[in-house]
Amino acid sequence: MCSVYTKSLRPSSDENLQGDKSDKEFTEPHCVNMRIAFCHHLSLSYFGGGEKWLISVSKELAKRGHDVEIYALPFKLEGKSKVDPKEYLEDIPYKEALRHKVKADLVYVTYNPLSWLNFET
């Protein structure tokens, strides 16, 4: 399920018959599948509000046909894991490391003052 509307130019059929080369703008629905990456400053195993939101949004975007990946830093508040994130992510790829090389059409980075050190696009 994907419904993204994009604008483009296409000549109308009447104009083609008359030889007029002017174009008319139209809006046509079609699916645009994107590679989307979420870059988070905490491990998803911390499982706080931000981590739950990332999991929820990632699952919804994947359901709509997008390729979603989550990259996280291996930091946990209070130093302990509450859950195994892979139990909640289903088939969404999840990587945890101090540094990531991210390739995606769209990258969403949660607050991290030094994110340029951890997530390279």
Q: Are residues 27 and 84 in the same domain?
A: no
CA 8 vs. chain centroid, Å, equals 24
For residue 3, what pLDDT is reported? Answer: 47
Q: Are residues 67 and 107 in the same domain?
A: yes
Q: Are residues 2 and 43 in the same domain?
A: no
* 27, 7 contact by CB (below 8 A): yes
pTM reported for the whole predicted model = 0.74
Q: Are residues 23 and 78 in the same domain?
A: no
Mean pLDDT by 10 residues, the chain (121 residues): 51 52 56 92 92 96 96 87 90 96 95 87 87
CA within 13 Å, CB half, 33: 8
Amino acid letter at 83?
V
For residue 88, what pLDDT is reported? Answer: 94
For residue 51, what pLDDT is reported? Answer: 94
